Amino acid sequence: MLKNLESICFDETSCGETLTCSREHQRSDASYFPLDYVNYDGKIVIQYIKGGDAKPTDAFISQTERRLIQSKSPRLLRPLTSRSYKSMEPIAGLIFHSSRCGSTLLCNLLDTLPDCYVIRESEVLNKLLLDKEITEFQRKQLFLTVVSAYSRYANYMGKRCVIKFTSYCSLYLPYIQKWLPNIPWLYLYRDPVAIVNSLKRKTAGWLRPDFIRELTGWEEHDTALSASSLATKVIDLCFERMLVYFDSCHENNLTEKMEKSCTKNLIEYEQLFSNEMSRVRSIVLSFGFTQPQSNSAMMACCAIDAKSGKQRQSSIEIENQSVDNQKKLFTRQACYRSCRKQYDKLQKLNGSK
């Protein structure tokens, strides 16, 4: 992806051993956001693409990036340095989720706010969190640099940035919390049966045995499962890590804070739509945005399918089958029983049970 760039403000000698930047290169350009990076023998170089003034309305930022690439939007190359993230604009909030749990709809709802800009499932962030060829110090630097670029771009658009991570990035929550402390965040989750049913109708890009082995370190025999069972096993792991994170807060004598945090940070799918979307309004406030005077824009947003953009048959169409009916569509194996226990523990922490 870093070849044949249309616009390069970058001088290179010795093929990646020495990188020098022009003055123009060193000037920050807030209208660009990160597209990719490459590791030249331990030296990280980030590629940026000009985003212009258009606000993405895609379910994923990668779709926006493809449009910009096709339109031959200008690009820049810049080396990773300790100064790359010193001018970070404030981040409004972080969204973690369990997949197929209403996270895209939540982003669409936040997009109805005039001063909110949502970065949705950045491939650059996914790549750097999984990258085994960089040091942990480089990972932190690169993460903060990418987030800083997103925040500057949102500020350039006159908005504040919310970052929605890909579902499996919740495994890295403890690290992200250390790198971005004191930023409001939430974890959106759902009954595992409902998640798997949704994945059976339309699979996810991460649901591949080879990728899951890379993500988790599992052996080949651990992933020799049906797609439904493999998805359940990954969901089980994500739920378990979330519970471990809250347990660590408890061990650090943060019990009272943890209880308040659980209530605020853990949100079950159906809570989004209960009590006239009161939980969505609380998210808006916790992220520091002004409460809209009317719910009409949000309600209109709910009338549109989150990913396809097509009109729903009813104003709010929630997959609200009973758990018993859902179980008839799913083979209850050991991995499901374990996942269900983790879900029930999350519900208990959330105060739902």
Higher pLDDT, 6 or 42: 42
In this predicted structure, what is the pLDDT of residue 28?
52
Percentage of residues of the chain with pLDDT beyond 90:
48
Per DSSP, the three-state class of 55 is coil
Res. 247: pLDDT tops 60: yes
Residue 21: pLDDT band with limits 50, 70, 90: very low
Res. 235: pLDDT tops 90: yes
The average pLDDT across 20-33 equals 58
Phi-psi region of 72 (alpha: psi -120 to 50; beta: other; left: phi over 0): left
In this predicted structure, what is the pLDDT of residue 316?
42
Higher pLDDT, 21 or 250: 250
- Set out the domains of the chain in order of their start, with CATH numbers: 83-350 (3.40.50.300)
Return the sign of the alpha-carbon dihedral for residues 25, 120, 307, 57: negative
| 162 close to 92: Cβ distance less than 8 angstroms | yes
In this predicted structure, what is the pLDDT of residue 44?
94
Q: How far out from the chain centre does Cα 343 lie?
A: 20
Residue 326: pLDDT band with limits 50, 70, 90: low
Q: Please give the structure tokens belonging to residue 294.
A: 């009317």
Spatial CA neighbour of 269 closest among 308, 319, 340, 199: 319
Residue 267: pLDDT band with limits 50, 70, 90: very high
Phi-psi region of 11 (alpha: psi -120 to 50; beta: other; left: phi over 0): beta
191-207 burial by CB neighbour count: b if 16+ within 10 A, else e?
Answer: bbbbbbbbbeeeebeee
CA distances from 108 to 39, 139, 192, 201 (A): 34, 30, 23, 22
351: which residues sit within 8 A by CB, 6+ positions away? 262, 263
